[in-house]
Structure 1
């Protein structure tokens, strides 16, 4: 069997993992548009780093981690389109489950989805959520306690696993973009970022060169402006001589009397 090209391998991974990821990110956020955006961005990152993803032991886990991290980013709260959750599902059971999930802190929400919804073991769940195994176990127990109180008819972990895994395996409620458009969108985004970095670097180099050329080569002290003290106006130099001062100055200049007679008294 001939080996798949990178494009064919990426398209196969997208077709296999994208629908489930759309449901997972919806359970994490309660926002359908954000869930689709998270899946698209995660696969765009995967295509940009495809040599790394292609040899990863678990490429689905690689993309899943990227999608979950993007979906749970706190910066989405500042965006008007993703500030509030969507209208809850029509079914009472799913509405109660989603409402209870959204009440959990994001790390707890993600932990219970990975462990009880997807069936990952505890060490893998801890590694994907970047937590220690005891911390992941504590989050899981707390999340189960909260969900058991909030969701009617939730008997135990087995019932929770069934309730969480059911929506993940269904077809997405909204149509996802085609794999080809995801690849081209990622390429366009990468080129746009590259151009932005090049332009920013050019501007920084130009500003640095201009500063080097126009900067002074020595320190030039700046005279502080005068200030009025006690209502006396400030003068910029020596005071102007009065007429009697001018007369005394002229006399001293025309009739100098240096010599001993100024120091030794003359006998009478």
Structure 2
């Protein structure tokens, strides 16, 4: 059966109320100084940056965000029996909240729902750390060793987890269809996955409001709003694969 790989970027979550970073109204364009709050060297060296970072986390739109039509469409494609793997640049966990099994989601940039100690690498829930901030601790330290805590996301200046990146590359090499959705395809090495997929024979479909550097490699580019365009596209892919509701294959096929 056709393996569909989906590389999802910030544009997938904007309908859930989570702003993107590099779009026309993106966070980094509105406030370039905000980038320091998620830059590893600044974060580790400056307690004031850390305090501001914790306040930014407290105010994050992600905590009240719900999966939108795009997230739900991906989960529905998986439930239809089509083999699906999501490689996401997002850290909001909305693919999983929409019902996609966690084992089928690769979080390239980590997760904002956990914190990690920069010294002993102990992990714990972000909600617990934010509760400590709410209680008056402006820069909570690791409760295991006293080290500096950070979000379990990949900050600027940090490398991606090589194991996660290796898994993502394997998916890109093994898929028949590679859908890049809501991503500018400008941040490496994530963007290179689209080229790797094409090099290994996959159909590339780009769903994004703005042009990307990989459009010329794409079999299809879609500029329509993601909330309507992606569900329609994924229904078509399911029909082509014979796994859409009402087809002979039904939902018996697993992945």
Q: TM-score range by the shorter chain?
A: under 0.3
Higher RCO (CA 8 Å, separation ≥ 6 residues): 2
What TM-score comes out, normalization by structure 1 length?
0.24
Structure with higher Rg: it is 1
What TM-score comes out, normalization by structure 2 length?
0.25
